[in-house]
Amino acid sequence: MKHFLWLIAFVAALLTLASAKVDGKSTAEIGSEAPDFEVSDSEGALRLSDLKGKWVILSFWSAQDADSRIDQNNVSNYLRNLESSHEADDQNVAVVSVNFDRSKGLMKEVAAYDHLIGRQIHVGQPDLASDIRNAYGMTDQLRTFIINPQGEIVSVDPSPETLASLGS
């Protein structure tokens, strides 16, 4: 009887661990709906789901993450090319750049140093930053996502060529 109780306890523990794994799994994969979140800055609140109907370039970056800074520069170059071609008003593209640095001042310094353009939103609340990172499956590496007008992720860490083809 003791062995049977231990077996039940062991199976219950396994089931608990398995369900925790499923609940903690990122839903941010190509073909899935982009996890929604809301962030605020001096321009006001921005909810990702409010951008449905547009192509969205969603980039997450930090001064300490070199790859995310390179991605952020690619996004800024895309915006510069779009603006210089006078097609910015014709395009149905929104850019959301979310920064996870320890301070807004650091974000501003790096954005100026790297000549980043576009709206840079600093997430200063650790709990919100953690929730967003978990929802998008970013444990070690920050990422850039392209989301289609239906709200689905169609590309992760897009190349400059992929960015250039957006909206065409």
Helical H runs in the chain?
2-23, 66-84, 104-113, 126-135, 160-164
Ranked by mean pLDDT, the top range of 43-57, 73-87, 152-166 is 43-57
Closest to 75 (Cα-Cα) out of 57, 100, 51: 57
Q: Which of 115, 17, 132 is nearest to 73 (CA)?
A: 115
Kindly give, in sequence order, each residue whose CB lies less than 8 Å from that of residue 41, ignoring residues fewer than 6 positions away: 119, 120, 121, 122
Residue 122 burial (10 A CB sphere; 0-12, 13-18, 19+): buried
DSSP structure class, residue 35? P
Residue 110 has pLDDT above 70, yes or no: yes
CA–CA distance, 23 with 28 (Å, rounded to integer): 13
Residue 86 has a pLDDT of: 58
pLDDT in tens, 22-74: 334 456 889 999 999 999 888 899 999 999 999 999 999 999 999 999 999 99
Q: What is the CATH number of domain 28-164?
A: 3.40.30.10
Q: What is the largest CA-CA distance in the chain?
A: 78
Dihedral angle computed from the Cα positions of residues 39, 40, 44 and 46, in that order, rounded to the nearest 10 degrees: -10
Nearest to 116 by CA among 137, 101, 128, 131: 101
- Extents of the domains making up the chain: 28-164
Distances (CA, A) of 143 to 50, 111, 148: 21, 17, 16
Cβ atoms within 10 A of the Cβ of 121, count? 17
Judge whether residue 119 has pLDDT over 60: yes
